[in-house]
Amino acid sequence: MSTIDIRRKHGKSLKAAKAAVDKTAGAIGEKFGISSEWDDDTLHFSRSGVNGRIHVGKTELRVHAELGFLLGMMKPAIEEEIHRQLDKNFG
């Protein structure tokens, strides 16, 4: 099993950061067929072969995902897309 673990500082309010995470998750979800659901300040996402979460704190967010064997081979592309969407939505 392959793991993605990304930490990113942000300067947004919690509400604005969660909205930016929604945009990020929406774009990634469309590209990779991932569904997501909020539980307080943590967005949980999943599909066959991946389970993860994005926790939004006051000054930092953390993306953590466990990839199954097949998606593990796509880890570089998935990580690159996550970084690209975070850059786009968090500036």
Please tell me the total count of domains within the chain: 1
CATH of residue 78: 3.30.310.50
At residue 2, the pLDDT reads 94
The residue range of the domain holding 24 is 2-90
Res 32 pLDDT > 90: no
Angstrom distances, CA of residue 20 to CA of 24, 61, 64, 69, 72: 6, 11, 17, 29, 26
With tokens 């909020």, the residue in question is: 38
pLDDT tens-digit series, residues 44-89? 999 999 999 999 999 999 999 999 998 899 999 999 999 999 999 9
At residue 22, the pLDDT reads 93
pTM of the model: 0.90
